[in-house]
Structure 1
Amino acid sequence: MNIFLDSNILYKDPFLKSIHNDILVNLAWLGEIKLYMSEVVYEEVINNYKKQLNEIYHSINLEHNKIKTLVANKYEEQLYIDKSVEVHCNALLSFYNNMFFHNVIRLVRYSNDLLPELVNRSIKREKPFSNNKQEFRDAIIWLSYVSYAKENLLEECHLITNNKHDFQGDNGELHDDLKKDAETFKLYNSTKQFFSLNKKLITIQKSMELQNWIQDENLTERYDMLQDLIEENALNSLFNSCSMFLERYTSKDLFSDDKEEPFETTDITFDTIEVTNYDIIDDSIIINGVLSLFIHIDLYEFESYFLNEPKTLTGHGTIKLKTSFTLDIGKGYKFNNFDLDDISIIS
C-alpha cells in the first residue's frame, strides 16, 4: 500500500506525532505500508515550521515587552527561551533525514520535464489548476506523484490531502480531471479518514497499539502483574489441575517413604514466572510461559492396613511443580483466559 502525503497534512504536526500520523509512521517502519513525500512538500513543511516558530517567538517578545512596562524595574524582567528557531528547525531536518535514510518516508523529486505539462494545464485551467494561488505547487506535487507511481508500477496509491478545492470532485472522490492521470489513486482528507476507510489496516493498527502498550508497560518483565492476574482469575483452576496431576502418584513416589500414606493437596503458592514469548491476535495478547509452583500437602496414616480410611494427620509436605501456561489478556491487563499444559514434578 502506497501513501502519498501533502504538506497541509503536516503543517500542524510536522513531526508526525498525532495518533493517526504516528500509526502511519509505525506501519512504515514495519514495512506494512510505504510513505512518500514530494520534494516540494518537504520544503514547504520545513519553511512553514520556521515561519510558525518565528511568529510565535515574535508574539512572545511582544508580550514580554508589555510585561516590562508594568513591572518596577524593567531591567530585572528578563526573558529566557531555551532554544532558538534554528535549533528547532535543525531538529526537524534531522527527523526527516532519519526518515529518508531508513526509507520510512521516500522522497519524490520533481523533474524539469514536468514544465510543459504544467504550462499546458495552467492555460487550460485543468485540475489541480484553479483560482487558488497555491495551484502551481499543487500541480507539481500531483504530477510528480503520478509520474513516480507510473515509473515504479505502483498499485494501491492513496493521496492524503485536505485540499478539497483542487483535488476533490463533487462526489468526494478524486476529481475527474485527476482520475485521467491515474486511476490507481484514491483521495483522503485526513489520516483519520484513511484508516476509517481501509479496514484491513485496522487489525494492524490495533496490533500496533497493543505492541506499544506492551513495550510501555514492559509487560514481559511484569511478573507481579501476571501473577496477580492468574491468582485473581485462575487460581482455583490452577490448583485443581495440579491436584489432579498428583493423584497419579503415591506418597512413596513423592516423598520416598517406606510406606504409602494417603495425602490431600491443601494449598498452592507461586515460586517463579517466566515469559517465553507472546503473540498478538486481534484484541488479545497471548502470553506463553512457564510457572514453577509449590503444592502443599497434608499426609495421613491408615487406621489399619485393611481399612482404607485416614485417621490422623501425620505431617505436611511440599511438592514443587513446573507447568507451561498460556495467558490471554487484553490492553489494560484485562483477563480473558488461562490454560495449562505439561505439568511435571521438579525434583
Structure 2
Amino acid sequence: MSYLIILDTNIIFNDFFFKSSDMKKLLKYTRHEPVDLSITNFNYHEILKKYRDEIRPLVKKVKSTKSDLIKLEASEIIDFENLKADKIAAKYKNFLDKTIEENDIKIIDFPTSNDITEKISFKYFNNKKPFDENKVSFQDAIIWESIVEYCNENEPDNIAFISNNHKDFANKDQNRIHEDLAEDVQNLSYYNSLSAFLESEEDNLRDYFIDNFEYDEQLLKDELTLFFERNDYLPTTVDDMLMNSEFEGEFFSGWGSDGYIENYSINLNEVSLDIEENAMLVSFDIEINVSFSIETVDPTYEKGDPGDGMISESSSTNILIQSNITYLLEDKEFIDYVELESDYI
C-alpha cells in the first residue's frame, strides 16, 4: 500500500532548519515506514524564496551600521566582506538540498498537462478553490495542480496533505479538504498542522517515540533556565519584537526600545523520548515580563537642539514564546532550539 505525505511551504518556513519536535518525529517516521514524504517543485522554490526574503532585510539592517562602526573603529566585529544575502541564501539551499537527499524527500514536478493553463484559469474565473473572490494569486493553484497531476499518474493508495493554509484548501471546520478540491484527488486527507497529522499516526509512532516520557520536571526547567542564561536568545527575540511593534503610550505612540527582561517562566507542554537517539524532544512555552521604553521622534526638535531628537516614556508588556528544543540524555546537552511562535499576551 502506497502512502504519499505532502508538505506545504508554510509547514517549513516557520522551521527552516527542521529543528522542531514535530518535524523530527515526521522525518523519523518517514525514514522507517513505507511512505513517501514530498513537496512540490513549486514549494521547493518558494521555501528558498521565503528564506531569501527573510535574510535580505536583516543583512541590509546590519550593513546600515557599517559607517557608524567605522567611525568608532569597531567595524572588525562584523565580517562585512562575507555578509551577502545571496551567499547566505546559497548556503541555506545547500542545507535544504542535503536534507531532502538524506531523508529521501520526493520533489513533485510542476504540472505539464496540455490543458493546465485553461484548467487553472477557469477555477479562477469561477472562484473555485484555491481561489475565491478575494484571492487572485496563482501560487496555491500551481501547488494543487502539481499534486493532482502526480496523484492521477501514480495513483497512491492514501494521500496526506499538510498545510496550515486552511483558508484556501480546507472546509469551514478546517479538518477536510474543501469540496471544490475533493473531486480532484481520491483518498486525500487534509491536516491543518504537522501536530494534527502526527496525532493521527500516533499508533505508528510508538515504535520510535515514548510520549509522556517520565522525567524530573523541575530539573528540566532548571536546566532550561541555565541554557537561556548562557545565551542571548530571549533578549534578541524581545528586542526584535519591540523594535518592530507600535505601542500606544500615555502621551504618544511609538516603537519599543531598551527592553529589559524582568522575569520569565517556563511551562513544559510535551516531552517525548526519541528512543533511537536517546534524546528528549521538549515542547514548551516561555512567558516573559518585559519593561521597555516607547520611543518616537520629538516633533519639536530642531537641528542644533541638544539631545538626539527622540522622546520616550516607560512601559511594560508580556510576551509568550512557543519553543522546541532537544536534550541529548547521554551528553546532557541541549541542541536545536527553535522558536515557533511569539506574540504579546
TM-score, with normalisation over the residues of structure 2? 0.55
Aligned to 1:106: 106
Aligned with 1:177: secondary structure?
A: helix
Identity of aligned residues (%): 23
Q: Deviations over 1:308-339 (max 9, x none)?
A: xxxxxxxxxxxxxxxxxxxxxxx969xxxxxx
Say if 2:152 is the partner of 1:137.
no
Matched, 1:76 2:76: no
Q: Which residue among 178, 182, 189 is the counterpart of 1:175?
A: 178
In the TM superposition, residue 125 of structure 1 has moved relative to its aligned partner by: 1.0
After superposition, the Cα gap between the structure-2 partners of 1:58 and 1:131, relative to the gap in structure 1 and judged at 3 Å, is farther
Distance 1:180 1:210, change over 3 A: same
Say if 2:170 is the partner of 1:160.
no
Displacement of 1:132 in angstroms is 4.9
> Could you say what secondary structure the match of 2:107 adopts?
strand
- Residue of structure 1 equivalent to 2:148: 146
Distance 1:199 1:55, change over 3 A: same
Unpaired segments ≥5 residues, structure 1: 216-330, 334-347
Structure 2 counterpart of 1:28, one-letter code: T
Q: Distance in 2 between matches of 1:214 and 1:118?
A: 46
Mapped to 2, the partners of 1:7 and 1:198 lie a distance apart of 21
Cα 1:98/1:198, change in 2 over 3 Å = same
Greater fraction of residues in helix: 1
Q: Equivalents in 2 of 1:63, 1:83: separation in Å? A: 12
> Relative to structure 1, is the Cα distance of residues 95 and 131 closer, same or farther in structure 2, using a 3 angstrom cutoff?
farther
Change in CA separation of 1:112 and 1:198 when aligned onto 2, cut-off 3 Å:
same
Other-structure match for 1:56:
58
Q: How does 1:267-278 map to 2 (within 5 A)?
A: none
Per-residue deviation, residues 4-51 of structure 1 (Å, max 9, x unmatched): 011111112222221111222233333443211111111110011011
CA distance in 1, matches of 2:61, 2:279: 42
Question: For structure 1, which segment, 36-45 or 124-133, has the greater mean C-alpha deviation from structure 2 after superposition?
Answer: 124-133
Once the 2 structures are TM-superposed, how far is the Cα of residue 96 of structure 1 from its aligned partner?
3.1
For 2:48 and 2:136, the matched residues in 1 are separated by 17
Q: Secondary structure at the match of 1:50?
A: helix
1:210 aligns with 2:285: no
* Partner residue, 1:198: 201
Q: What is residue 218 of structure 2 aligned with on the other side?
A: none
Contact 1:5/1:37 (8 A) holds in 2? yes
- TM-score, structure 1 normalization: 0.55
Point out the more displaced range, 83-92 or 181-190.
Answer: 83-92
- Aligned residue pairs, count: 214
Amino acid at match of 2:129: K
SS at match of 2:156: coil
Contact persistence 2:22–2:194 (CA under 8 A): yes
Task: Name the counterpart of 2:14.
Answer: 12
Q: Equivalent residues in 2 for 1:31-42 (5 A)?
A: 31-42=33-44
The CA distance in 1 between the partners of 2:155 and 2:12, in whole Å, is 27
1:60–1:204 distance in 2 versus 1, CA, 3 Å: farther
1:245-277 Cα offsets, whole Å, 9 max, x none, are: xxxxxxxxxxxxxxxxxxxxxxxxxxxxxxxxx
Cα distance change, pair 87–22 in 1 and its aligned pair in 2 (3 A)? farther
Q: Which has the higher contact order (CA 8 A, sep 6+)?
A: 2
SS across alignment from 1:13: coil
Distance in 2 (alpha carbons) for counterparts of 1:31 and 1:127: 32
Residue 95 (str. 1) matches residue 98 (str. 2): no
Corresponding residue of 1:313: none
DSSP-derived class of the 1:111 partner: coil
Aligned counterparts of 1:10 and 1:132: Cα–Cα separation in 2: 25
Gaps of 5+ in 2: 211-272, 281-327, 331-345
- Aligned residue in 2 for 1:44: 46
Contact 1:195–1:201, Cα closer than 8 Å, also in 2: no
Q: Distance in 1 between matches of 2:64 and 2:83?
A: 18
Shift of 1:105: 0.8
